Structure 1
Amino acid sequence: MSNAVANGLAGAGAGIVAQIITYPLQTVNTRQQTERVAKKGLTFRYSDSAPAAAAGTLVQILQVLRNEGWGGLYSGLKPSLFGTAASQGIYYYFYQVFKNKAEAIAAARRDRGYGDGTVGMFSWLVVAAIAGSLNVLLTNPIWVLVTRMQTHTQAERKIMEEKKEALLGGASESRFMPSSLQDKLDELDTTKPRPYGTLYVAREVYNEAGITGFWKGIVPTLIMVCNPSIQFMIYESLLKHLREKRASNKKISKSVTALEVFQLGALAKLGATVVTYPLLVVKSRLQAKQEIGRNISSRYSGTLDAIVKMIQYEGFPVFYKGMGTKIVQSVFAASVLFMVKEELVKAYILLAGKSRRVMVNLLK
């Protein structure tokens, strides 16, 4: 097995572990990003839900647990796990393939008298960007489904609110509320969101926008490739610096511990998240169900339209909604992912070495 395949499989396994642990935070964060709250002087028709958006992360988690149970926090987990395994597997496979090529080019340049044989920071950025772009193009449909499933209760709530407003608006001229109208309002209040399976969501996306609907948000997502690019650039640079420091000190072990990998992964992800978070908010808005707001202020025809309307109706702070939750979730997930992935690769190398020694002994 090549080291690219080993890294791809290790990345997929580590990604699944990290996703399961941090998924409730991811669900809450997606809902925070897609919740509309008008800036001062403007009013959305569904502004009654604004307090939920402003609530703290822990409060929101408890609200989801009370109203929807654990299923609400883990809505969309199955396609998310599949998407994570696919994304991490594809990303780490191509990342290792292009990393090997970059290292070979650097070594060849050193042999010709250019450089010291190490891969530069810009080269790491390019390697990560290429791997990330291929990953995005292949897996974006999965994340459209996941975003829909994470936010479907929000969308259902907005639709119910609009129906109630329409019924109340029609009865506003009457002094007394007809019993039939009250029955309809009571029915809307007690109606729970319908089950939202993966196949149902896929049909819904296709019926709304055809096959192109599965690539909604692709523009900001492709731009978001700079997130893992920045992350891996920081990570590889920090790792290189740590190893060089270890090599210069003969009294300290040269190997990097799992805890150190965890810490480097956390620092790398923190830096990348702060820089690219606004793009993540735009992507989530585009991929969420558009019925989440039927008025023109919250229906987006594309990336530029979404950015303009978000600034016009909600102001610049909207681009950092839920960033605190995202930092906690993504930094912890990335740290777990890096740590588990490196340990899986070490285990593979150890097993491969033992297998080779066994084969050599058998051939003697």
Structure 2
Amino acid sequence: MSNAVLNGLAGAGGGIIAQIITYPLQTVNTRQQTERVAKKGLLPHCDGASSPSNRLPSSTLMEILQVVKSEGWGGLYSGLKPSLFGTAASQGVYYYFYQLFKNKAEAVAVARKRKGLGDGTVGMLTWLVVAAIAGSLNVLLTNPIWVLVTRMQTHTQAERKIMEAKREAILREASISNSTDLSTLQDKLDELDSIKPRPYGTTYAAWEVYDEAGILGFWKGIVPTLIMVCNPSIQFMIYETSLKYLKAKRAAKRSSKNVTALEVFLLGAFAKLGATVSTYPLLVVKSRLQAKQEIGGNISLRYTGTLDAVVKMIRYEGLPGFYKGMSTKILQSVFAASVLFMVKEELVKVFLVLVDKNRKRSTRYG
């Protein structure tokens, strides 16, 4: 088994475990990112529809409790199946190509050292390029999966906006028509309130995306997503550089102690924190583009592309709109990355032991 395949399998396994553990936080974060909150005093009037919400964002814990109350525990795991598949595919593809190009970069560095050029180690810029290439290939191959996941995570949010618009329409109609009986009005409102939005399936989400934008709809948000390739690039640059420093420090002290799982966990957390803070606005724009666009029927809430999304977010929500839910994302992504790195490194060790045992067994009985 090649080193690239081994790391691809380990990355997929680590990604699945991290995804299962942190998925409720991811669901809440996606909803926070796609929730529109208008700047104070700015209420765009478009098509007679309702404007972006002016409610203050609640805490992550309150958001989780609200989802559980209105949708049950299943609401926190809406889209989990395609997400797990997407995680396995993304991490597998990413780590495979990352390790493949990493091996080539290290081989080039060693070859340069033999020629008297460099110290035989890979520099920061090379790590960035390697991570960027692997990330770009991963994005192009797996973006359709994440479009469906985003749709499934935000479906109930979109349905709630539709219900709010219907409620406003009923009240507006009652205020215009003085003949409306109060009991009849209350019955209509009670009937509307009794309808609870529920998560929908992967197939329905796929048909909805295709019906809205055709086959290209599955690559919505591809521009900010490709730009966000710098996120794992920054993450891996920090991680690899920190790991290299730690190993060099141990070697200088002539210590035989290997890097522990806890140290890998902490290095992974540190690396992901730096990457997340620097690229979060792109993640918000990506989520907005991949979510259902007809939220509330308001033109200020619908985006035709990346530039249109950025302009409208600045106009109607201001710069704070680009950082909605960042605390939740930091908690989720840092913890998920830490678990992923730790599990991946441990799986690599297990795979290497199994491969070594199998080789020895083959030699003994060969």
Match of 2:315 in 1: 312
Which residue of 281, 284, 290 corresponds with 1:281? 284
Which residue of 77, 85, 91 corresponds with 1:82? 85
SS in 1 for 2:294: helix
Give the deviation of 1:177 after TM superposition. 2.4
- Residue 218 of structure 2 is aligned to residue 211 of structure 1: no
Q: What root-mean-square deviation, in Å, do the aligned CA atoms of Structure 1 and Structure 2 show?
A: 1.5
Which residue of 225, 231, 234 corresponds with 1:227? 231
Give the deviation of 1:166 after TM superposition. 2.1
Match of 2:64 in 1: 61
Corresponding letter in the other structure for 1:248:
A
Corresponding letter in the other structure for 1:247:
A
1:121-270 map, 5 Å: 121-178=124-181, 181-250=185-254, 252-270=255-273
The answer to whether the 8 Å contact 1:124/1:233 transfers is yes
Match of 1:3 in 2: 3
Structure 1 gap segments, 5+ residues each:
none
Distance 1:316 1:195 in 2: 31
Distance 1:181 1:74 in 2: 35
The answer to whether the 8 Å contact 1:269/1:334 transfers is yes
The answer to whether the 8 Å contact 1:37/1:47 transfers is no
Give the deviation of 1:134 after TM superposition. 0.3
SS in 1 for 2:17: helix
Match of 2:306 in 1: 303
Give the deviation of 1:326 after TM superposition. 0.3
- Residue 108 of structure 2 is aligned to residue 99 of structure 1: no
Higher alpha-carbon deviation: 30-39 or 284-293: 284-293
The answer to whether the 8 Å contact 1:29/1:325 transfers is yes
Corresponding letter in the other structure for 1:6:
L
Q: Deviations over 1:3-40 (max 9, x none)?
A: 10000000000000000000000000001000011101
SS in 2 for 1:37: coil
The answer to whether the 8 Å contact 2:4/2:100 transfers is yes
Distance 1:89 1:320 in 2: 29
SS in 1 for 2:11: helix
Give the deviation of 1:351 after TM superposition. 1.1
Match of 1:42 in 2: 42
SS in 2 for 1:192: coil
Give the deviation of 1:358 after TM superposition. 1.6
The answer to whether the 8 Å contact 2:281/2:323 transfers is yes
Corresponding letter in the other structure for 1:34:
T
SS in 1 for 2:176: coil
Q: Deviations over 1:305-359 (max 9, x none)?
A: 0000000000001111110000000000000000000000011111111111222
Structure 2 gap segments, 5+ residues each:
none
The answer to whether the 8 Å contact 2:71/2:197 transfers is no
The answer to whether the 8 Å contact 1:46/1:158 transfers is no
Corresponding letter in the other structure for 1:202:
A
Identity, in percent, stands at 77
SS in 2 for 1:119: coil
Match of 1:24 in 2: 24
Q: Give the TM-score of the pair, scaled to structure 2.
A: 0.95
Higher alpha-carbon deviation: 84-93 or 161-170: 161-170
Give the deviation of 1:253 after TM superposition. 2.7
